[in-house]
Amino acid sequence: MYQSTLRAVTGQRIKQNLSIYLKGASMVKSNTMTVKNMATKALPRLPVPTLDQTLYKYLESVRPLLSNEEFAKTLELTEKFANTDGAKLQALLLEKAHEAENWLADWWLNAAYLDFRSPLVVWSSPGQLMPFTHFKDIHDRLLYIANVIEATIEYKKLIDDDKIPVDMMGKEPLDMQQYKKVFGTCRNPALPRDVQEFNPQSNHIIVAHRNHFFKVNLCGKDGNKLSVNQLVSQLKYCIELSKTSAPAVGILTSDHRDNWSIAYQVLMQDETNRNSVDAIQKSLYVMSIDQAMPKIEGQNRHTEASHQLIHGGGSKVNGGNRWFDKTVQFIIGENGVNGLCYEHSPAEGVPIAVMVDFLVEYMKRDGSKGIPDADGVELPIHLEFNVNADVEKEIIKSCKNLDALAADLDMDSFSFDVYGKEFVKKHKISPDSYIQMAMQYAFYRMYNYPGAHYESAATRKYLHGRTETIRSCSTQSVAFARAMMDDAKTPEDKVKSLREAVDSHKKYTVDALNGFGVDRHLLGLKLTSLEQNISLNPFFKDVAFTKSNSFRLSTSQVATKCDAFMCYGPLVMDGYGCCYNPRSNNINFAVSSMHSNPDTRSSQFREALEHSLLDMHDILVRVQKSKL
């Protein structure tokens, strides 16, 4: 495809190095196979693509990000890598894949999460909104919270009894192990790598109010679960005991992981503190009852909610009313904001979104049919902390860091209401690919060059599967953006470019879902090299590798049936996060970037995205009308 252009620009050297590129083209089509010698478990094992398959796709994906000269050098380095270290590393990786149930699982857990030292806040933990509600008074709010708790008890029972319907991709069942890790999990700070702790059989939750933490047992002495009314009484008791704010010990969990690990040593020197931390870590989840967030001029409700769910408004508001290490922290605000913040290491957004839909539906039930009263209810235990001068020093540092981070986060969350996925489906286009192309077009119209673009694809059809990257920026996506901005092009030309871009994205998506993307395989080869003390091949230091891994757009579809959305920060300082929920007749978006970066503005990306979606609607409608 690029042969003639490149030959014209850079000559014969390219032609030779294109061999790998062309060889790959014929191989990519046949990638529905799975590794032989499968484990006896029902799900197949994550495959290792062939080196040629991956390198071909890699070259295709980096092409639009590079100049001709850069691409020529990349071709040369890639060819050399394929014939030297690449082949050696591939052989070692295949050996590992033969032994392991999932060759990637531990590497990914460590590389993507436990070794990642930036704060969980903004840089790792997403917020998940649930539909807004309105609380008449505090009793109304506590009743709502009690109902959420009851719904989680029912949901947990379904998980424990393996009664959650198995997620499917077409006819293929998906790995459900992430569901088992939603409740009772905690990511504890440690140097150089954090540690996960699992207590799924735990029987208590933590209620957080004004930075106080309470251990609330969910069962009476008779072993039965508490009723909604009993839960309301427990919550009232917690509120009564926490009328003034406690020192913000929880804020330590918001800090850089190295800072938190050091502060953890200081905090845990005291036995009372150790016991309190232990109760939090072993709980099923945290329920944060939040204070009102200050109104920020010009911010809509979705954006306000995103800030509350991601960082809690910093140390002056709810930042200390959190334990960010817990996988699930429900957040119920005075202002009717409901949702949660979740620590990403044990699960992707999908099990969280499924849980949210369950909770919302469950709470619509007839309340009189809930859990009956239990006998022998114990009062909640107020978890004490001894905050000596050393701990206080750490808290002051963490407050400063969280406040700076919270102030730097530039969010713009909104519902695009002109149309939703049904319109796109009517035009026989995949809604997900369409939205991805709208983002590519939005980025291009802002910067006049394309942005490396990450989208998550679930690889849960494989045992212990998690995600693969869909590299949404392609030669076709750039051609589409350019066509849209070219007044000389007819609507028919533009629709043709759109369909080509969508087809290319869809093809990559199918490959990624089947474990045949680029990123996880290259990560596997790189980590094999590091583990085996093989010096890192120049291929991994090439400009193509760096540019294509610096994802200016970090995007993810997290769909819920209810009117909700997920939100998170960007992946890089000069990038955007964009999580979306395509609904039948609207699309919820949460756009993020960092104020401190002069080149990004979430409101501008939102404008560009809305503009792009309207332009795309316009050309599809015009071309359709002209055919009638």
By CB under 6 A, name the binding residues for ligand COA.
Answer: 348-350, 425, 428-432, 456-458, 467, 509, 513, 556-558
**Nearest distance in Å: CB 425, ligand COA:** 4
Would you state the structure tokens that stand for residue 517, as one six-digit string?
Answer: 């993307």
Look at residues 407, 208, 206 and name the one whose alpha carbon lies nearest to residue 315.
407
- Amino acid at position 119, single letter: P
Nearest to ligand COA of 144, 568 (CB atom): 568
| Residues sharing a CB contact under 8 Å with residue 531, sequence separation 6 or more, in sequence order | none
Q: Going by DSSP bridges, is the β-strand pair 338-342/328-332 parallel, antiparallel, or unpaired? A: antiparallel
Catalytic one among 256, 302, 307, 344? 344
**Nearest distance in Å: CB 28, ligand COA:** 18
Nearest to ligand COA of 383, 513 (CB atom): 513
- Amino acid at position 361, single letter: E
Tell me the three state secondary structure of residue 554: strand
CB atoms within 10 A of CB 47: 20
Look at residues 618, 519, 611 and name the one whose alpha carbon lies nearest to residue 571.
519
**Nearest distance in Å: CB 175, ligand COA:** 12
**Nearest distance in Å: CB 576, ligand COA:** 16
Nearest to ligand COA of 425, 595 (CB atom): 425
Residue for token pair 């003639």: 4
**Nearest distance in Å: CB 426, ligand COA:** 8
- Torsion on CA atoms 176, 179, 181, 187, rounded to nearest 10: 110
Nearest to ligand COA of 51, 559 (CB atom): 559
**Nearest distance in Å: CB 104, ligand COA:** 15
Query: What's the rounded Cα separation, in Å, for the pair 339 and 344?
Result: 15
Nearest to ligand COA of 151, 502 (CB atom): 502
Nearest to ligand COA of 98, 425 (CB atom): 425
Percent helix / strand / coil, the chain, rounded to 5? 50, 15, 35
**Nearest distance in Å: CB 461, ligand COA:** 10
Instruction: Calculate the CA 628 to chain-centre distance.
Output: 43
Find out whether 205 and 284 touch, Cβ atoms under 8 Å: yes
Nearest to ligand COA of 53, 456 (CB atom): 456
- Amino acid at position 214, single letter: F
Residue for token pair 């949702």: 339
Query: What's the rounded Cα separation, in Å, for the pair 542 and 74?
Result: 7
**Nearest distance in Å: CB 282, ligand COA:** 26
Would you state the structure tokens that stand for residue 367, as one six-digit string?
Answer: 């309340």
Q: Going by DSSP bridges, is the β-strand pair 381-383/168-169 parallel, antiparallel, or unpaired? A: unpaired
**Which helix H or strand E contains 75, and what residues bound it?**
helix 68-83
Query: What's the rounded Cα separation, in Å, for the pair 498 and 434?
Result: 8
- In the residue annotation, 344 being an active-site residue is answered as yes
**Nearest distance in Å: CB 589, ligand COA:** 15
Paired with 329 in beta bridges are 286, 341
Nearest to ligand COA of 43, 207 (CB atom): 43
Nearest to ligand COA of 236, 507 (CB atom): 507
DSSP 488: T
Residue for token pair 């997403």: 126
Nearest to ligand COA of 398, 556 (CB atom): 556
**Nearest distance in Å: CB 339, ligand COA:** 15
Nearest to ligand COA of 96, 561 (CB atom): 561
- Torsion on CA atoms 244, 245, 246, 249, rounded to nearest 10: 170
Look at residues 304, 382, 366 and name the one whose alpha carbon lies nearest to residue 339.
304
Within 485-594, where are the H helices?
491-513, 519-531, 543-549
**Nearest distance in Å: CB 516, ligand COA:** 14
Query: What's the rounded Cα separation, in Å, for the pair 332 and 154?
Result: 19
| Residues sharing a CB contact under 8 Å with residue 623, sequence separation 6 or more, in sequence order | 491, 492, 495
Query: What's the rounded Cα separation, in Å, for the pair 400 and 460?
Result: 39
Find out whether 253 and 246 touch, Cβ atoms under 8 Å: no
Q: Going by DSSP bridges, is the β-strand pair 553-557/576-582 parallel, antiparallel, or unpaired? A: parallel
> Which class for 294: exposed (0-12), middle (13-18), buried (19 or more C-beta within 10 A)?
exposed
Q: Which residues are catalytic?
A: 344
